[in-house]
Amino acid sequence: MSRTALVTGATSGFGLEIARRLVAAGHRVIAAGRRTDRLEALRDELGAEAICPLTLDVTDAGAVAGLPGALAEGWREVDILVNNAGLALGTTAAQDSDLAQWEQMVATNVLGLMRLTHAILPGMVARGRGDIVNLGSVAANYPYPGGNVYGATKAFVQQFTLGLKTDLAGTGVRVSDVQPGLVGGTEFSHVRFGGDDAKAGAPYADTTPMTAADVAEAVLWIIGLPAHVNVNRIELMPVVQGAGPFVVKRG
């Protein structure tokens, strides 16, 4: 059955791959992001029947509150919300960090995701069906140096997802938190390191990270499960990755 999905952060990385795979599976996608040219290119590539471009900054509370009413006619009943837009900024120790970067991560990863959910969820509950898939991270549960606020935003995503799951029990609406580890080939690291490509490439050097396709496959699997099954949380790591040691300063 063809369903209508709203994918935030569909201009790049996971969101773009998820949008492509949803369309390949027969669904229609409202592709959201700030870079309109990329959204329009996706519509031109996949067709106006399949892609509805939505220029949206998820930190714009007013714009998000206008959804789904502000969507084009015929696109207002969102069956699948993929809360994917997000970012990390820097890996600076908390004591040396830039407050504006912290605030941008919270505004996007926490408030943006929360507001999108608030706008779209009532329609899903009224229709008695729907899927919300949130992009969390392993950073929610495994702290690493300089991951301070980024990890905290993803911990919010994890707890918010579980809270939603509790409230939504019996409504027919499902909610999941997808928590990937190291994934290469997206703009995540480029954004994190402010466009410094040497720094951005270092986490992926001489190893085999996951890809956006791996994450998208998990998302498509989750929404394709029988209607009575809810994946609460799924953690994905490449085979080469593992949790790090505790930090112990000596001397």
User: Which residues form the interface with ligand 8X3 (CB under 6 A)?
Assistant: 137-139, 147, 181-182
Task: Please give the residue whose beta carbon sits closest to ligand 8X3 in the complex.
Answer: 137
Task: Select 15 or 147, whichever has its Cβ closest to ligand 8X3.
Answer: 147
**Binding-site member from 4, 11, 101, 117 for ligand NDP (CB under 6 A):** 11
Question: Is residue 43 involved in binding ligand NDP (CB under 6 A)?
Answer: no
Task: Select 6 or 139, whichever has its Cβ closest to ligand 8X3.
Answer: 139
Partner whose footprint covers residue 130, from ligand 8X3, ligand NDP, none (CB < 5 to 8 Å by kind): none
Label the pairing between strands 28-33 and 80-83.
unpaired
CA atoms of 72 and 44, how far apart (whole Å): 17
Question: Is residue 187 involved in binding ligand NDP (CB under 6 A)?
Answer: yes
Residue count of the chain: 251
Question: Is residue 151 involved in binding ligand NDP (CB under 6 A)?
Answer: no
Question: Is residue 87 involved in binding ligand NDP (CB under 6 A)?
Answer: yes
Tell which residue, 141, 60, 156, has the closest CA to residue 106: 156
Assess contact for 28 and 4: CB atoms under 8 A: yes
**Binding-site member from 13, 53, 90, 147 for ligand NDP (CB under 6 A):** 13
What phi, psi does 21 have (nearest 5°)? -70, -35
Question: Is residue 86 involved in binding ligand NDP (CB under 6 A)?
Answer: yes
Cis ω before 122 (30° cut-off from 0): no
Residue 194 Cβ vs ligand NDP, minimum distance, rounded to whole Å: 13
Q: Going by C-beta distance under 8 Å and a sequence separation of 6 or more, which residues neighbour residue 9?
A: 15, 32, 33, 84, 85, 86, 135
Distances (CA, A) of 52 to 21, 200, 216, 222, 226: 15, 31, 19, 23, 27
Question: Is residue 219 involved in binding ligand NDP (CB under 6 A)?
Answer: no
Q: Is 150 a catalytic residue?
A: yes
* Residue numbers annotated as active site: 150
Binding-site ranges for ligand NDP (CB under 6 A):
8-9, 11-15, 33-35, 56-59, 84-87, 108, 135, 137, 180, 182-183, 186-188, 191
